[in-house]
Chains A and B, each alone.
Chain A
Amino acid sequence: MDIKVLGPGCKKCEQTAKIVKEALAEAGVEANVEKVTDMMEIAGYGVMATPSVVVDGQMKIAGKVPKKKDVLSWLK
């Protein structure tokens, strides 16, 4: 599984990355988590609000910090 956390590095983006990692640990899922902070790359995803999470090429959330419950549902 390939997970990308998009965001320039603001507080909410850090929170998002933390929650994603926690959810992964809780579900016992192995995944490659990458933080994307480059504006050009973020824009390339067509995201208009950060933080945003992309799971296996699918955008799951944009503009707010996800709840752990949400992240767990994406992992299934």
Chain B
Amino acid sequence: MEPIQEDACNCKAPRTGGNAASEAAMERKTLALYLGGSVFFLVLWWILYKNLLPLSEAASAFLAWAAGFDLDGHLGSSISFFIYEVPKVLMLLTLVVFGVGIVRSFFTPERTRAILAGKRESVGNVLAALLGVVTPFCSCSAVPLFLGFVTTGVPLGVTFSFLIAAPMVNEIAVVLLYGLFGWKIAAIYAGTGLLIAMIAGWTIGRLKMEKHLEDWVFQIQSGGLGAEEEELDWVGRIRYGIEAVRDIVGKVWLYVMLGIAVGAGIHGYVPEGFMASFMGKSAWWSVPASVLVGIPMYSNAAGIIPIVQALLGKGAALGTVLAFMMSVIALSLPEMIILRKVLKPRLIAVFIGVVALGILLVGYIFNFLF
């Protein structure tokens, strides 16, 4: 299927007969190279991942023998934890970022807006939260994106669903949670994060807050230039995925190592139940306290994981820790300052209030259930 698309793309620039034919052959070759390379990479990844445990055990055994420490002691168990977890999490991260990169190459902000414009509110909130996960988004362009949505007929509440989900439920958070705490916690985080985005956006829509947008928002000549739709071929999509890996994994690997180092230290040294009295289930006030502490803080998902690791490892309750993580990632002072350009204080307050309330509920529900 793909090679035909390739040819169709190539027709856009017709040249003299022979030249075009050889160029088409060239492009087919590039495509084959990229697809083959991807398959090769996946197979290699799979083989390595499947054999990671024995490999890492052998490595720690060798290290223990060379440096002369006991593998079952404090230091030994910390080191073998580190040697296994670092390649595991980095490999998972690479694969998922690559996969999400390819998915994202299908969703430009323009396309997402076209899907959301004119949707009914409830359906729109659900779609917006889901699209928030797959649409490329950077908090520094939150304002232009917000304006682009609102001025072309995407309802305010639906826009908020997108803005809440985009930073909170992202592939880095989910993969790190999966790698360090298992798929259950990762799924709970992603599921409740999406739910908060949907319900909080819907609530803001119900409150009819449109008049609390800054007045100049309505003076904008919407439409403007509009980006040229660039239709990517599969070579382009694979390149996009590789670029995403270089960009994201290149940025967060240090945080990941630090996080695992903290985790490894806890694994080997700190007695269990250390944090239970402050952040355990019995301390009811710990959930609102973590949300309040978390709101002004700003960190990306990778940076917060070391803290989450430390808290959970020392006996803090799951709901409390999830609430803390969500409020740090989803609500932050810098983002509020950026959004203040388009939102009046009242709407910002409502935004923070509604999302914080959702996070609070999630925290209590999980402390109650687990």
B136 in contact with A40 (CB, 8 Å):
no
Q: Which of B151, B223, B227 has the most CB of A within 10 A?
A: B227
A8-B140, A63-B109, A63-B136 known; A46 vs B228 contact (CB < 8 Å) = no
Which residues from B are CB-within-8-Å of A7? 140-141
Which residues from B are CB-within-8-Å of A63? 108-109, 136, 138, 141
A72 at the interface (CB under 8 A from B): no
Q: How many residues of A contact B (CB 8 A)?
A: 24
Contact of A47 among B138, B140, B144, B341 (CB under 8 A): B144
Which residues from B are CB-within-8-Å of A45? 224-225
B227 in contact with A47 (CB, 8 Å):
yes
Interface stretch of the complex, out of B25-33, B40-48, B214-222, B268-276: B214-222
B226 in contact with A59 (CB, 8 Å):
yes
A47–B108 alpha-carbon span in the complex (Å): 12
A61–B136 alpha-carbon span in the complex (Å): 14
Q: SS class of chain A's interface: helix, strand, loop or mixed?
A: mixed
CB distance from B3 to the nearest CB of A (A): 25
CB distance from B115 to the nearest CB of A (A): 14
A39-B144, A43-B144 known; A48 vs B110 contact (CB < 8 Å) = yes
CB distance from B6 to the nearest CB of A (A): 20
CB distance from A16 to the nearest CB of B (A): 12
A49 in contact with B228 (CB, 8 Å):
no
A44 in contact with B148 (CB, 8 Å):
no
A35–B2 alpha-carbon span in the complex (Å): 40
B143 at the interface (CB under 8 A from A): yes
A47 in contact with B225 (CB, 8 Å):
yes
CB distance from A39 to the nearest CB of B (A): 5
A18 at the interface (CB under 8 A from B): no
A49 in contact with B144 (CB, 8 Å):
yes
Contact of B148 among A40, A47, A57, A61 (CB under 8 A): A47
Which residues from B are CB-within-8-Å of A39? 143-144, 341-342
**Residues of B with Cβ closer than 8 Å to A?**
108-110, 113, 136-138, 140-141, 143-145, 147-149, 151, 216, 220-228, 338, 341-342
21 A-B pairs (CB sep. < 8 Å): A8-B143, A8-B338, A39-B143, A43-B143, A43-B220, A44-B221, A45-B224, A46-B222, A47-B224, A47-B225, A47-B227, A48-B109, A48-B147, A48-B149, A49-B141, A50-B141, A52-B227, A58-B225, A58-B228, A59-B228, A60-B228
Contacts A44-B220, A47-B148 supplied; 7 other A-B pairs, CB < 8 Å: A12-B138, A48-B109, A48-B141, A48-B147, A48-B227, A49-B138, A63-B108
